[in-house]
Chain A
């Protein structure tokens, strides 16, 4: 069975600082995908970034980058230059070969950006 673990229930970061949100996963599959989503208090799940298990380069999307360490089974999200609008719940999720339609989510990390 696949499992995603996010060990940080809550994080604080000062505006303009960088922050790393941790995500580890457990799978026996060789082919899988890792995702990060942001969920503001409004409820919408916003796709941030994707990393494929065979991708050798870490994914980047603007201020978001994914620190992918395959041997350690970790896929940490790095947000650079935090903004007040980054305050939200962040979910790490994965899909795996054959069931690309099933997203397995972690429990989430609530990020609060302060002045």
Chain B
């Protein structure tokens, strides 16, 4: 089973709202990722968690706040977003960030976010 789930599927929020995206996997993976994908573009890495610790932050604005409560869950807290933050947000997981190149990342279905 290579399933990664994400909720909600769609989210519309105003610039003053606070919302959260949720990602869950039960594959025993110890690395989890957030990507942002704009229309007609490839995904861009935002954050990486390894063993529940933040290991990579790709200079993401502080209005995006990741959280990894346990090895199966990954949240992305959103606050004071801008319309240009509207995108597809993809979560992924892999066994671990061991430095081995064959660590396949498995993606969830994504959350389509619209900021008004």
Contacts and interface: CB of A to CB of B under 8 A. Distances in A.
A105 interface: yes
B109 A50 contact: no
Contact of A47 (B31, B41, B98, B105): B105
A52 B110 CA distance: 27
Contact of A102 (B41, B45, B50, B88): B45
18 contacts: A31-B101, A32-B101, A35-B104, A43-B109, A43-B110, A44-B108, A44-B109, A45-B90, A45-B107, A50-B104, A52-B102, A95-B101, A100-B100, A100-B102, A101-B33, A101-B94, A102-B45, A108-B42
For the side of the interface on B, what is the size category?
20 to 34
A56 B28 CA distance: 30
Given A44-B109, A47-B2, A91-B42, A101 B48 contact: yes
Interface in B81-116: 88, 90, 92, 94, 97-110, 112
Q: Majority SS of interface residues in chain A? A: loop
A97 interface: yes
A46 interface: yes
A35 to B, nearest CB: 7
Interface string A42-67: 11111100101100000000000000
B55 interface: yes
B107 A95 contact: no
Interface of A: 31-33, 35, 37, 42-47, 50, 52-53, 91, 93, 95-103, 105-108
A2 to B, nearest CB: 11
Given A43-B109, A44-B107, A47-B2, A101 B56 contact: yes
Contact of B42 (A46, A98, A102, A107): A107
A101 B103 contact: yes
Contacts of B98: 100
A35 B99 CA distance: 16
